[in-house]
Structure 1
């Protein structure tokens, strides 16, 4: 994405009203798409941390790619329902970490090649690790059954989305770009293919918590090892083949194995914490 492009999806819920110029619920929905993160209320005790977390997640998950321009401060303040000084604190922290850079007269942009970072304090928290592992346990309960039902009920349009996510994952991996949004998009496409909106909604509700944890771990290593990305991609392809073949049991087993392997890979990345 070039610096002339502006981010198009939004990470946080505005507590006090819609974004500037946007009325009511429609404004809130548009705001929630601006940086690509599910809405979450900004808690009073740490306004700037919540703004930082939302922007950090968008950058690390690839939804704000290298060179992407962030919305102006006044828009970010409206999106998060905070003051402009609070937004500036979050942006200052991102600048110190070399994740964004500000160009006078042009705006604030995601750095083209952010450097490796030291251990993220939140990643050291036992509570954060516990929360993350609980989310993975829930996925191990839900997603193998999603794969089973997707193999039974999938339609051509579902397979098309899965293919697009696989191809996007592969392209991003080859370029060395963050591929998380394609990774989770593949899983979401499988949940959608179950034809059960409650399953799809449950998985969607996990996206922010889990992908934020994934972002933290990937931030420690900056980029996942190439063999890990290739392993995950190969596992996705196997799941896809079983769904195409309508082999429900094989799809279920492949999904469970993939999630177990993902847990091991992510814990290995965080092993030095």
Structure 2
């Protein structure tokens, strides 16, 4: 893991390989956003331990549990555990102390540890703001679209709070609360984001709640009851006020900073060996519970899901046939045997058929039935693209402001080159779309925004559909090249001038133009044309 942004992404994702090449955004297209390989088990375990160190659960000076106990908790081999520990030692996060086991290094002896804690802190701060925004979006969607029965169920789940104040149980309950609301809102986009951010949300609320006091718990519980009551009454103003009050409780206490200070105090206590045997055992048991991470997804299952999504969006086709096993294997960086297993699973599901004369081809099925293909959902419901527009607006405005404040000269050089190419005449529609996507992702990279890039990974299919539809449909952005170039010029000019306010304002104007058009189209009841995704999809790499 090299670079602060890769580190922040690993902490959010829970694994190390990055589906996007952060060093070179020049060739980005929909196909390049796909996960190529899965992490090794030892990598996932190393990142899980990094998360514990970064959050203060394993503070500087803390002794790690023995290899045997870690292996048992994580359902991993001792070899796997040793590999994870060796990696963390090489990178300077932990050290073997003779006669004292393996310990987290002291702050003053490891710049990498300081960078890790800082990266995690920035993730938590960005997540706190994004989760507050996401909560508002989900509740508004819930109140707008859910039936009375669904609202009553959601209100009951919100009102049902844990009886005890075990911090881990409370943090897990914050995830359950948000999943219940997202599922009830009938938005697969909000539900997917919430599930994919569960690791980060658990870490966020774990840090916040560890720094809380009795008064803070009572205020959070009070506002939760207020939220449940407002949902039951379909009281939008009351529900949003309860959410705002909960967010204010967390912000007012600056609990993330307090949690960090407590981690430093824990280090001082550990150095004095002031913890009792009972406290040490309790701490170790809690750490081991957190290391009981789920097994990584099987490669066959991931490939099956990815190829199904590519079929739904037209990316896996070469005319009537699917791409060959050889080309699919090269695309995903896996063996042909792995691709063959995934295709066999798709054949069993009835998604593809094969014969000697025609080769393997996709079965034409309704778009909405494609598994985990958010693009198909977008094609069935314009409201999903409006949801994407709202999410994108929040993330892009925030990223543009931060890019102006933090971007490097290399980032600025990339933005200049992209904008220069955008100004060329006679660009193909596909190239214009690729450059637009590339510009916005480069701004996200310049901002150092792990949250932004991770959500882009999660919603990669819908991101592609959003750009395709937005930039080719006459009623939204199609045929408005001069307007878009003007917007992009204003955004880049403000970023290069290191003007965060101007960059945010220019990006808000740009994203607002699309959001307003989507809102109007939804109000007018316009539907996406059939076959949109397949008609607009770019040719797959190597075609």
Could you tell me the TM-score, scaled by structure 1's length?
Answer: 0.56
Per-residue displacement from partner, 1:69-119 (whole Å, max 9, x unpaired)?
Answer: x85235527459512694893874599xxxxxxxxxxxxxxxxxxxxxxxx
1:229/1:76 Cα in 2 relative to 1: closer, same or farther (>3 Å)? same
- Structure 1 residues 110-125: aligned runs within 5 Å: 122-125=377-380
SS of 1:83's equivalent in the other structure is: helix
Which portions of structure 1, spanning 4 or more consecutive aligned residues, are displaced by more than 6 angstroms? 267-270
The residue number in structure 2 matching 1:89 is: 352
Q: 2:419 aligns with which of 153, 159, 166?
A: 166
* Structure-1 residue corresponding to 2:389: 136
Within the candidate set 24, 36, 40, 2:32 is matched to 36
State which of 481, 488, 497 in structure 2 corresponds to 1:245: 497
In the TM superposition, what whole-angstrom CA distance separates every residue of 1:203-235 from its partner, at most 9, and x where no partner exists?
Answer: 53355143233266369859x865323322221
Q: Distance in 2 between matches of 1:170 and 1:269?
A: 29
Work out which of the residue numbers 504, 507, 522 in structure 2 matches 1:255: 507
Distance in 2 of aligned mates of 1:239 and 1:144: 10
Alpha-carbon RMSD across the aligned residues, in angstroms, is: 4.9
The alignment partner of 2:386 has SS state of: helix
How far apart, CA to CA, are the structure 2 residues paired with 1:264 and 1:80? Answer: 45
Write the distance in 2 (CA, Å) between the matches of 1:133 and 1:236: 21
Change in 2 beyond 3 A, CA 1:146/1:251: same
Which of these residues, 133, 148, 157, is aligned with residue 401 of structure 2? 148
Q: Secondary structure at the match of 2:33?
A: coil
- Residue 198 of structure 1, CA deviation: 2.3
Corresponding residue number in structure 2 for 1:214? 466
Give 1 or 2 for the bigger CA radius of gyration: 2
Distance in 2 (alpha carbons) for counterparts of 1:34 and 1:264: 25
Whole-angstrom distance in 1 between the partners of 2:378 and 2:445: 31
Pair 215,85 (structure 1): closer, same or farther in 2 beyond 3 Å: farther
Aligned length in residues: 212
Q: Give the aligned partner of residue 223 of structure 2.
A: none
CA apart distance, 1:265: 4.9
Distance change in 2, residues 1:136/1:215 (3 Å): closer
Q: State whether residues 441 and 453 of structure 2, in contact with CA within 8 Å, keep that contact through their aligned partners in structure 1.
A: no
Give distance in 2, aligned partners of 1:267 and 1:164.
Answer: 33
Contact 1:162 1:189 in 2 (8 A): yes
Please give the alpha-carbon distance, in whole angstroms, between the structure 2 residues aligned to 1:122 and 1:220: 19
